[in-house]
Chain A
Amino acid sequence: MRHQTKKKAGKVITTMAILLLGFLFIAPLLWMIIASLKPETMIFKDMGLAAFLPKEITFSNYAQILFSDRIHFFHYMWNSLFSVSMIVIFGLIVNSLCAYALVKLKFPGSDLILVLIIALYVVPFESMLIPLYIVVNNFGWINEYPALIVPFIASAFNIFLFRQFFMGIPKELEEAAMLDGATPWQTFWRVVVPNSKPVFATAAILTFVTHWSDFMWPLIVATDESIRTVQVGVQYLFTDNNIEYGQIMAALSLTTIPVILIFLFFQRYYVQGITSSGVKG
């Protein structure tokens, strides 16, 4: 009985902590959404706590973005969704396979390759922008989808991440599969993948977020209206002068929605991993 109440108290404290801390983290996102619903002239009028309490709500900022004849917001959104999804899907396959090979299917030179991959993560993208542009230009991909997708499928970060988690998979699980006569491919597909759902979800979320917010690269390789991404698209709002902050906030709110949805979608894979399911299996 006492144990029960103690547990209950713990739950209440945890709940309170999450909600209180959570507000500190979500406040800017909240402010952005609230600001997007305010008339332009009201946005910066009060920057205290009152900034979170709109006196007047308007959807005109959204209307101006969604029904503009100058920009094609839905089209940009589609371009971003398409290219980033491609990066995520192919990235998950290519990088997890590579990590699995490096950790579990050791072949000559695999250790050296691993070190090299981790070292590559160190290179800041800013220093590669121009050389990478030259490479991609040689493929003739300027203003075409592959320029947005192909260079980012293989990722040193993701290989390293997968490697770290695959290492934690108990040998016994694989040995059991092997004794059942499974090929290494079957072992990967039937043992490793199902037991690594959380790390696949993490890799998917982090990859999606990283490339969803990319701006510099898409701007340089893809300015053509037909493949412009949403991050580049909303930059039209940042003109030299007379910036309309209400519209900016509305546009940024809209671009945040897909990321939150993706996040919620992958959350359900945060189930208890390895041992519980492994033991059952």
Chain B
Amino acid sequence: MEKTVTPIQVERKTLTYETQKRWLGIAFSLPALVLLFTFLILPVMLAFGYSFMSYNMLNPDGKEFTGFDNYIRLFQDGIFLTSLKNTLYFTALVVPIQSAVALGLAILVNKKVKVASLGRVFFFSPVVTSMVVVAILWTFLYNVDSGLINHALNFFGIENQPFLLSADQSMNSIIFMSVWQAAGFQMMIFLAGLKEVPEELYEAAEMDGASVWQKFRNVTLPSISHVTGFVLIITTIQAFRLFIQPYVMTNGGPSDSTKTLVFMLYENGFQFRDVGYSSAIAVVFFFIVLISSLILKKILKQ
């Protein structure tokens, strides 16, 4: 790092601003790129290699090259299709709902009221609450006989719902809970974006007699579009990676209705110690998400 910087300082006077920029650009990004290469790209490349091997985690010396066997097996595996379907369903619903909720919360706590900072802590708190506690509580809330949610439904004359115990409702129940849990995360990103919107714009709109909705539509949304795009892409990727909620709350059931791709990847890699197969799932997963993100990016651009 020092080597690349020293000549710049010595030759500062002779370098143009543009050349300086270029060299500094490399110097600035180098630490991150070296670290990313070592701890992200290298492992990813290893995993890519493993996906063409039969590799029992407990017996690393016994691994051998098996070509496309893992991939062929994957496309014949019924659970893969189920997991893919579940993951896509979760993503398609969670991304718009969660982003909208997060934006709503961010706008709320961006208002100049005394409880705004308290509200930030409240809305963010599910993100920091241990998954153990969250799982215990939501299992109670969703309890078929005595859950608070069913009590509330009874109040409106709706009969008890099975929620997590039914293959039809379990994924929706997890979606609802996930939105509640993770919206605070996106809220913080939106909040940082809202802070960039110049106050003057709102004042000008108010002068023109704009309604609350008009202000949102014509000032807020256009001003934070780069943040919205970011949140949508990040949320999509995070949604594809759904794992921990079904892992602790439903174990992928009932009848595989909450089994996701990452769940399948973890189960095969760690529980069944089949590193090769697990890596093949990871590679396929990677391309599915990448393509989805690119499509999303295209849509956002329009």
Contact = CB atoms under 8 A, between A and B. Distances in A.
Nearest to A106: B25
A105 B31 contact: no
Nearest to A188: B28
* Residue of A104, A164, A185 ringed by the most chain B CB atoms within 10 A: A164
A127 B269 contact: yes
A151 B34 CA distance: 11
Interface in B184-204: 184-185, 188-189, 191-193, 195-196, 198-200
Given A105-B22, A205-B188, A271-B195, A156 B36 contact: yes
A209 B28 CA distance: 26
A121 B39 contact: no
A28 B240 CA distance: 26
Interface string A108-126: 1010010001111111101
A101 B39 contact: no
Interface in B265-302: 265-266, 269-270, 275, 278-279, 281-282, 285-286, 289-290, 293
Contacts of A37: none
B76 interface: no
Contact of A185 (B24, B43, B108, B199): B24
A31 B137 contact: yes
Contacts of B275: 130
* Residue of B24, B121, B262 ringed by the most chain A CB atoms within 10 A: B24
B32 A272 contact: no
Contacts of B50: 131
A35 B207 CA distance: 52
A202 B137 contact: no
Interface residues of B, number: 99
A223 B36 CA distance: 25
Interface stretch (A19-27, A55-63, A64-72, A77-85): A19-27
Given A15-B113, A131-B46, A198-B196, 16 more contacts: A18-B113, A19-B115, A23-B122, A32-B129, A47-B140, A106-B25, A120-B40, A120-B41, A120-B44, A122-B240, A122-B290, A123-B40, A126-B269, A154-B35, A165-B196, A213-B130
B146 interface: yes
A209 to B, nearest CB: 6
A39 interface: no
A22 B112 CA distance: 16
A127 B278 contact: yes
* Residue of B109, B198, B243 ringed by the most chain A CB atoms within 10 A: B198
Contact of A135 (B29, B39, B146): B39
Contact of B36 (A31, A47, A120, A185): A120
A270 B195 contact: yes
B29 A102 contact: yes
Interface in B208-258: 226-227, 229-230, 233-234, 237, 240-241, 243
Contacts of B81: none
